Each structure stands twice: as C-alpha cells, then as structure tokens.
A and B are shown apart, each in its own frame.
Chain A
C-alpha cells in the first residue's frame, strides 16, 4: 500500500467510526431478519429460535400456500387496490396543484394547503377511527346526509362491493394534500419568464397550463408515478387492517393482511414467511426496475 493510500485510510478512520453503530444496528435488525427468510423453508418452531435446529421442509410451505383457495383472490385484491391508488395519487394532486396555482389570494391558497395536507400526518388508527364514525350506515354523518337526499344508506365499509372504492378514496383523501404540495413546489420552480413571453404571444391561461405548466412538471409526475409502481404489491397494510372486517374479506383482504393473519395470528410461521418472501422478491423486482427506469430515463439520482 502506498503511503498516500495509508494516509487517506488513516484520515478516513473517523468516518468508519461514525458508521459503526449504524452498521451494527442494521446487521442485527435488518440483515439477520433477512436471513430469517429461511423460515419459509422450515417447519418452524419459535421456541427453538431463529438459529435453532429447525426441521427443513424444502418447498412444502410454498406448495401449501398455493393450495389456499384464497391466494389468487388476495393477489387480485392487492393489485386492483394498488393500481387505482397509484393512478389517482398522481391525477388528483396534479389537478389540485393546477387549481391552487391559479389562486392569487395568498391567504386562501395557504389556508387550503394547510387544511388538505393535515390528514397526511395522522396515524391510520386515528384516521380510520374518524372514518368508521362518519361512514357508519346508522349514525354516520355522511349517511345521514345521503338519507336526507332520500337515498338508501351506503355500507361503505361493510359491503364487499363498496369496500375497495372506500379504501382507494379514503387513501387519496389522506395523502393527496401532501402530493399536491410536491407538485406546487415543482410548478413554482418553472421560470416566470416563460409565462410572460407566451402572454406576449397571445396565449391564454389555459394554453399556458397545457404548454408550459404541464410540461414543466412532466418529469416529476413521471418520476413519482414510476417510483409509485414499485409499490404494486403494497396496497397499504396500515390502512386496510384498520378498516377491514369479516364482511368484506372477499374484496378487501390484501397480501400483507393475509400474511399477518396466517403467519402471526394463526401461527403458521412457515407459510406466512413463504407468502412474505414471494411478495418481497416480486416487490424487489418492481422497485428495482422502477429505480432503474427513473435513473436511466429521468436522470433521477436518489443519492
């Protein structure tokens, strides 16, 4: 090793020291659980521990999982809910950002922003608690309003046909404000001269939106869509588990809730881990390709 190398290695020692606690924590709490996916190939007995002498069963757990009559239904529910979420979580915020961008009254603009992104910071427990109250067919204020119009009450959370719609809509309600602010930030980054020049050329406001604003935020829209597609198998455990009930399992059960139900609650550790492993591998593929696409075609650099 040259003396220059040695000198740099010595100089970098503090950097290694800084990283050490994080590396140790990640080894224990991220990499050991990654090793723990071997549970999917075992007849796992928790009492023996993660590194204990477990019985290996090859692919048995996977075979059993695929004989579950529900597995394909669960997969379909997951993909259906998440695709709608991915699409609407781009469309709704973009529309709101465009509308908000036309507001000249600063106080009004700021108040609307403050109100619409507050729910983003609430836990799903709190938000679901509110939803369960206001959507209740008997005493909920939403159904009171629907009934006052002379219509029948809607079982938003108790009817299997309504449940996915309710999940998708309420997720958008909770998160669209946050994304709206992202797009507003992107819009405010567009050079004002572009608008001035086009106004001189006689472009009206609508033409400016089509030809300047939308192209100006195109990259960030595509980027967030691409990155969102990595979540195709994550239909939102935090939300769905808080809203799910036995009446709507046929349309509402998603992969993550199913893993929890089978793997932890029913204590079928091996089978739960098998589903989780397949999900993780497929998700890794989706997330990995979405990053690669974003990196290659959108010049996105995360770090």
Chain B
C-alpha cells in the first residue's frame, strides 16, 4: 500500500480522536491523583474544598494511624490467608477438572455428564440463604473455609483452561502414551509445562477475585473480627458502621470518619491489585483471546 498524504478530514478526525481519548484518560488519572492527594492532606483543607491534585497541608497522619490500627491489619491478614488458601484450592481444582473434561467423548465416555454436572452450577444456584444455612450447619461461619470452599471450583476458568488444553497438539499426548505415561503424568509432565500463559491468566483472575470479594466475608461471618479486608472496608469506610465493629470511643470514630483516613484505607486496599497489574495486563489479553474470541 502506498503512503499518501492524509486528507484534511482525516487530520481533523485524528486531532479529535487523540483529544477525546487523551482527555478521558487524563480525567481518570487525575481522579486517582486526587484520591492520593486527599490521603496526604490536612482534614480542614479537605472539608473546605481546597485539595485538588496536590496535598494541602501535607502530612502522613492518616497512614501513621492506619499502621497502628490493629483491626485493619487483622482484616488484611485474613485477606492474605484467604488469597493463599483460596488460590491454591482454585488452581488445583481448575487443573484437575479441566484436563479430564478436555478429552473428547470417544476418549472419555462420561465427559459430557461431568461437564454438565459442573456447568449447571454456573447456571443455577441455591442463592445466599441456603449457603448461609449450610455453612452454619457445618460450623464453618467465621472461618476462612467459608470463603474458599464455596468458591473452590471457578467454572468459567475451568472452561478457559479446558479449551486451551484442547488446542494443544494431540500428538504430544499420543507420544507420551507410547512412552507409557499415565493420565496423571500426561497432565503434570506434558500439558501443564506448555500451558503457562493460560495458567497465569486464571491464577491472576483467582488472586484478584479472592482479594476483591467482600460480600461473602460479611455474609458468612458473625463478627467483624473474622472479616477479610474488603468486608472490613465495606463496614468501616462505606457504611461507617462503627458500632458493629465495636468501636465506641469518640476519638477513634472521629479519626475513622476523616476523609484522609478513609482514602488512605481505600488506597492500601487496592495496593495488591496495583502491584500485580503489570502482570495482569500481560496475561489478560491471552485470557480474553482464548476465552471470548473463540469460534
């Protein structure tokens, strides 16, 4: 294709296009900068609307108080525990379920029965009330198991991985079988080492999912001491329900009601996601292309 001079209308379009996309991105960044600025600002400056994109009356009081807030860090610790246990369970389940289901019915006759057994759970669920009652019956309320067992099998991630397995060249499995490999060896020695992109994708989704979920923490805990971080933030920052957190002294309540304190908590709450975002970005495309644009 020969390069020719762009037409006038093309130039006008380009200017507008760059402007629209540039300005919307800039607004997003500025809002983020604003939130960060709030967390470092003096509260009187905040309530009198002086803070824009730079801190006014710069101080780190909010973070200092936050670092001494044992409730916050207990919730943080529960979240870390939840992510470690939950993601381990998720990954084990995804791999162990996706591999047999990636077989075709002529290789594995029961394949479709199992497939529907899992898929139905994605289509229909009993809802939150029976789940609450069940976990109560099993005495799992207020434990990390109430947060990781009901979400143990993420069906759509299983489907993502099984579709990836199906695209692998069948010859390598046949060759492995010739060498006397059983199904476990075919999964762990042959399939997994060449499936890193899709495994990284579901791993990251699983981490973000466990870190971000907040409702189950509230639903399946009877005390705020058992809340993971996002559930804790929902109570303290969003609903400002200090009573159910057992916070009664006026000084603490005043501190926690400060906008700088609220924004500091929000920022710490998103730091882990921010940290893995570059990785998320890299594998995210893989996941999308595999998951959605599949014909």
Q: Which residue of B18, B126, B127 contacts A108 across the interface (Cβ within 8 Å)?
A: B18
B63: Cβ under 8 A from any A Cβ: no
Tell me how far the C-beta of B79 lies from the nearest C-beta in chain A, rounded to whole angstroms.
11
Q: Enumerate B2-38 residues with CB–CB distance to A below 8 Å.
A: 7, 10, 13-14, 17-18, 20-22, 24-25, 28-29, 31, 34-35, 38
Q: Are B162 and A116 in contact (CB under 8 A)?
A: no
B234 and A125 form a contact (CB under 8 A) = yes
Interface on A for B, CB 8 Å cutoff? 8, 11-12, 14-16, 18-19, 21-23, 25-26, 28-37, 39, 44, 46, 49-51, 96, 99-100, 102-103, 105, 108, 111-112, 114-119, 121-126, 128-130, 132-134, 138-139, 141, 144, 181-182, 185-186, 189, 196, 199, 204-205, 220, 224, 237-238, 241-242, 259-260, 263-264, 269, 272-273, 276-277, 279-280, 284, 287-288, 299, 301-303
**Stretch from B54-62, B65-73, B112-120, B248-256 contacting the other chain:** B112-120
Task: Determine if B125 and A21 form an interchain contact, defined as CB atoms under 8 angstroms apart.
Answer: no
- What residues of B have a CB within 8 angstroms of the CB of A303 in the complex? 101, 115, 119, 159, 162-163
* Chain B neighbourhood of A39, CB < 8 A: 129-130, 133
A276 engages B128 (CB within 8 Å) = yes
In angstroms, Cα B38 to Cα A290, docked, is 45
B residues 157-201 with Cβ under 8 Å of A?
159, 162-163, 182-184, 187
**Complex contact A130–B128 (CB within 8 A):** no
Q: Is B97 an interface residue (CB 8 A)?
A: yes
Q: How far is the CB of B268 from chain A (nearest CB, A)?
A: 10
Q: What residues of chain B lie closer than 8 Å to A121, measured between beta carbons?
A: 208, 212, 273, 277, 280
Nearest CB of chain B from residue A157's CB, rounded to whole Å: 11
* Pairs of residues from A and B, 5 with the lowest C-beta to C-beta distance, nearest first: A36-B130, A33-B126, A123-B212, A276-B127, A14-B183
Q: CB-CB < 8 A to A182: which residues of B? A: 288, 292-293
Q: Are B124 and A34 closer than 8 Å at their CB atoms?
A: yes
Write the nearest CB–CB distance from B202 to chain A, whole angstroms.
Answer: 15
Tell whether, in the assembled complex, residue B118 and residue A237 are in contact, meaning their CB atoms are under 8 Å apart: no
Contact A185:B103 (CB < 8 A) given known A22-B93, A39-B133, A115-B25: no
> Which residues of chain B are near A11, meaning CB under 8 Å?
183
- Report if A181-B262 is in contact (Cβ < 8 Å); known contacts: A46-B136, A123-B213: no
Which of B132, B215, B262, B280 contacts A133, CB < 8 Å?
Answer: B262
A18 pairs with B129, CB closer than 8 A: no
* CB contact under 8 A between A26 and B118, given known A139-B259, A264-B132: yes
Write out the residue numbers on chain B whose beta carbons fall within 8 Å of the beta carbon of A181.
284-285, 288
Beta-carbon contact of B182 and A123 below 8 Å: no
CA A284 – CA B121 in complex, angstroms? 11
Q: Say whether B266 contacts A34, CB under 8 Å.
A: no
Q: Does B78 contact A (CB under 8 A)?
A: no
Which of B119, B124, B163, B265 counts the most chain A CB atoms within 10 A? Answer: B124
Are the C-beta atoms of B108 and A12 separated by less than 8 Å? Answer: yes
Output the nearest chain A residue to B28 by Cβ-Cβ distance: A115
Residues of A with C-beta under 8 A to B117: 23, 26
- Verify if B238 is at the interface (C-beta below 8 Å from A): yes
Smallest CB gap from B52: residue in A? A141
Are A34 and B97 in contact (CB-based, < 8 A)? no
Contact at A129–B133, with CB atoms within 8 Å?
A: no
Chain B neighbourhood of A111, CB < 8 A: 25
Known contacts A103-B18, A123-B213, A303-B119; decide if A36 and B134 are in contact (CB<8 Å). Answer: yes
Q: Can you list 22 A-B contacts with CB-CB less than 8 angstroms, sorted by A residue number?
A: A16-B110, A19-B100, A25-B93, A26-B121, A99-B21, A116-B24, A121-B208, A121-B212, A122-B212, A123-B270, A125-B233, A125-B237, A126-B230, A126-B270, A130-B35, A132-B238, A133-B263, A185-B285, A204-B7, A238-B214, A263-B128, A276-B127
Whether A130 contacts B25 by the Cβ 8 Å rule is no
Inside 8 A of A280's CB, which chain B residues have their CB? 124-127
- The reply to whether A126 and B233 form a contact with Cβ atoms under 8 Å apart is yes
Could you tell me if A220 and B17 are in contact, using CB atoms closer than 8 angstroms? Answer: no
Measured between C-beta atoms, what is the minimum distance from A256 to chain B in Å? 9
Assess the A139–B215 pair: CB atoms within 8 A: no
Q: By the criterion CB–CB under 8 Å, are B21 and A100 in contact? A: yes
Q: Is B224 an interface residue (CB 8 A)?
A: no
Contacts of B149 in A (CB 8 A): 25, 28-29
Closest Cβ–Cβ distance, residue B136 to chain A (whole Å): 6
Q: How far is the CA of A128 from the CA of B163 in the complex (A)?
A: 35
Distance A121 CA – B211 CA, assembled complex (angstroms): 10
- Determine if B266 and A15 form an interchain contact, defined as CB atoms under 8 angstroms apart: no
B93 touches A21 (CB 8 A): yes
B215 and A237 within 8 A (CB): yes
Q: Are the C-beta atoms of A185 and B238 separated by less than 8 Å? A: no
